Amino acid sequence: MLSAGMLKKPAEQSAKLNMPRQRMPEQDPLERITNFQEVPYGYTEELAVIEAFRCLQCKDPKCVKGCPVHVNIPWFIGLIAEGKFIEAAWKLKETNLLPSICGRVCRQEDQCEKLCIRGKSGQPVSIGALERFAADYEREKATATFPEIPAWTGRKVAVAGSGPAGLTVAGDLVKKGHRVTIFEALHVPGGVLMYGIPEFRLPKNIVAAEIDYLKKMGVEFEFNAVIGKLFTIDDLFTEGYDAVFVGTGAGLPIFMDIPGENLVGVYSSNEYLTRVNLMQAYKFPEYDTPVLRGSKVVVVGGGNTALDASRTARRLCYEDVTVVYRRSRDELPARKEEIQHAEEEGVKFQFFTAPTRFIGDHEGRLIKAELVRMELSEPDESGRRRPLPVDGSEFQIDADIVIIAVGNLINPLIQHTSPDIEVSRCGNIIVEPSTEKTSKKGVFAGGDIVRGGATVILAMGDGRKAANNIHEYLTNSSW
């Protein structure tokens, strides 16, 4: 096995600096649009060691400050460089319970890798790919070790929602000796990791394996349990739970309120992705849930969800998939990596463009989308330039499927039955930022239900913070 030890000083430092960032090998674009398998294959052992060797092992590592859960990045990378892959995974799991997920879907370029010192004059260390490598290596070798769980404290915690926030809360609290039950509305755990992010970006068996790890640590799950319907928050307290964490995400799709939005063939990104990812409609009719197939697809939006939907459509449809976005390419909120992958796969982009209406046939099936060119206004008071339609620039394109991916609102189910939890005008639960406490005693919240549409790792960061404060609350009972 190759290890960093083979490269001795004094050449070591310059060798480190001269080493280019290693790319993960990937499935060929033409090949991968015919399947749903993951795009990057991940590092080989050799590539991982080379990449890990590029880390300068800073005394004051900036990367850690960029990580919402403060993974000890130089330490785990140092272990990889020494060929101690399993130990590297254990080190990761001390702070991050879901490393093979984060290694894949975190926006490292805006977080840890953005602050990496090597990025100042070149390419940062590929921290995400290394995280993924170590976690995958350990999972595949099935050497998972479990932290020692202290004796039961006698306290019980209910978690609503099994997405990234809820999973983190649960993992952290069982490690402290509390009993934790996660209530999930769907029939599988994982939340957005299961219904939202496609298989080719985050394989579902990996999500299942990470969740299985939590189960083995003692986290209990109740599926088909909609909080706000089957149980109210107060019911949970009555049933003997001492604290509740609400991590139910942002789950109410926004439509654009334009004509033709309810034609057959117009989907929310949530519906399109749920059909394909959660219900496995791409295997219809082996699986019972269908999804409409088409030849011309228009995706509205520019975030990761829009890109996930467009790349999914590319794998299901035969001709063209076009993403329309009302601002410029530079403003696309999606990850650079995803934009690149989408383009390689033949997804087309139309910038400064927005839909004005959708046109159907006599059966109410979508046949065309009418789009309009946009231009940026003069800066407003906040200095932001807003996209405005250019009069008379409307044009029509053929479309048999439109996927609207312009964001989500908050699902009001919990608020309906727990009016004592204070929410903002948009329906987000209001929490004390330093503790994740809501206005209701014993109830904490985090992730997208608080933030609106954000990221997996930010939800996990909230979960971590909430877990610490729930522990404190359970220990000294003061609110």
Partner 1 sequence: MFEIIEKKRLSPTVALFRIKAPRIALKRKAGQFIMLRLNEYGERIPLTLVDSDTVEGTITVISQEVGKTTGILGALEKGGAILDVVGPLGKPTHIEHFGTAVCIGGGIGIAPVYPISSALKKAGNTVISIIGARSKELLILEEEMQQISDQIYVTTDDGSYGHHGFVTQILQRLIDEETTIDIVFAIGPLSMMRAVCKLTRQYALPTFVSLNPIMVDGTGMCGACRVTVAGKNMFACVDGPEFNGHDVDFEELIRRNRGYFKEEKMAMEELTYHEGPRCYQQEC
CA distance 209 to 311: 25
**The one segment of 31-39, 118-126, 140-148, 253-261 that binds partner 1 by CB under 8 A:** 253-261
Which residue type occupies 139? R
Q: Which is nearer to partner 1, 97 or 445 (CB)?
A: 445
CB of 363 to partner 1, least distance (A): 6
CB of 253 to partner 1, least distance (A): 4
Q: Which of 2, 252, 367, 376: binder of partner 1 (CB under 8 A)?
A: 252
Q: Which is nearer to partner 1, 84 or 365 (CB)?
A: 365
CB of 241 to partner 1, least distance (A): 15
Compute the radius of gyration of the chain from its Cα atoms.
23
Q: Which of 156, 275, 335, 368: binder of partner 1 (CB under 8 A)?
A: 275
Helix, strand, coil percentages in the chain from 3-state DSSP, rounded to 5:
40, 15, 45
Tracing tokens 């000796």 back to the chain, one arrives at: 177
Q: Which is nearer to partner 1, 39 or 263 (CB)?
A: 263
Helix (H/G/I), strand (E/B), else coil: 409: strand
Write down the H helix ranges in 292-374. 304-316, 336-344
Q: Where are the beta strands (DSSP E) in 259-398?
A: 266-268, 296-300, 320-324, 348-350, 353-360, 366-376, 387-389, 395-398
* DSSP-derived secondary structure letter, 455: -
Binding to partner 1 by residue 472, rule CB under 8 A? Answer: no
Q: Which is nearer to partner 1, 86 or 254 (CB)?
A: 254
Q: Which is nearer to partner 1, 126 or 411 (CB)?
A: 411
**DSSP per residue, 20-60:** PPPPPPB--HHHHTT--S-SB----HHHHHHHHHT----SS
Binding to partner 1 by residue 449, rule CB under 8 A? Answer: no
Distances (CA, A) of 91 to 5, 121, 138, 175, 264: 20, 29, 11, 15, 50
Binding to partner 1 by residue 251, rule CB under 8 A? Answer: yes
Q: Are 99 and 131 in contact (CB under 8 A)?
A: yes
Binding to partner 1 by residue 289, rule CB under 8 A? Answer: yes
Buried b (16+ CB within 10 A) or exposed e, 30-57: eebbeebebbbebbeeebbbbbbbbbee
346 dihedral zone (left: phi>0; alpha: psi -120 to 50; beta): left
> What is the distance of C-alpha 165 from the center of its chain?
11
**The one segment of 201-209, 349-357, 370-378, 406-414 that binds partner 1 by CB under 8 A:** 406-414
The tokens of 228 are what?
């706000």
The phi and psi torsions of 49 (rounded to 5 degrees) equal -65, -40
CB of 261 to partner 1, least distance (A): 7
Q: Which of 349, 281, 343 is nearest to 316 (CA)?
A: 281
Q: Which is nearer to partner 1, 347 or 406 (CB)?
A: 406
Binding to partner 1 by residue 279, rule CB under 8 A? Answer: yes
Binding to partner 1 by residue 295, rule CB under 8 A? Answer: no
Q: Which of 255, 348, 377, 472: binder of partner 1 (CB under 8 A)?
A: 255
Site string for partner 1, 360-379 (x = CB under 8 A): ---xxx--------------
Classify strands 320-324 and 296-300 as parallel, antiparallel or unpaired. Answer: parallel
Q: Which of 112, 116, 246, 292: binder of partner 1 (CB under 8 A)?
A: 292
CB of 57 to partner 1, least distance (A): 44
Residue 434: how many CB atoms within 10 A of its CB?
8
Binding to partner 1 by residue 187, rule CB under 8 A? Answer: yes
Q: Which is nearer to partner 1, 281 or 457 (CB)?
A: 281
Q: Which is nearer to partner 1, 257 or 381 (CB)?
A: 257
CA distance 191 to 246: 13
CA distance 221 to 188: 10
Site string for partner 1, 305-344 (x = CB under 8 A): ----------------------------------------
Binding to partner 1 by residue 412, rule CB under 8 A? Answer: yes
Binding to partner 1 by residue 237, rule CB under 8 A? Answer: no
Length of the chain: 479
Site string for partner 1, 190-219 (x = CB under 8 A): -----x------------------------
| Residues touching partner 1, count (CB under 8 A) | 41
Tell which positions 157-186 bind partner 1, by CB under 8 A: 185-186
Binding to partner 1 by residue 234, rule CB under 8 A? Answer: no
Helix (H/G/I), strand (E/B), else coil: 242: coil
Q: Which of 212, 271, 370, 398: binder of partner 1 (CB under 8 A)?
A: 271
Q: Which is nearer to partner 1, 83 or 251 (CB)?
A: 251
Distances (CA, A) of 157 to 3, 160, 351: 44, 10, 47
- In the complex, which residues of this chain contact partner 1 (CB under 8 A)? 185-187, 195, 223-226, 229-231, 251-253, 255, 257, 261-262, 264-265, 267-268, 270-271, 274-275, 279, 284-290, 292, 363-365, 411-413
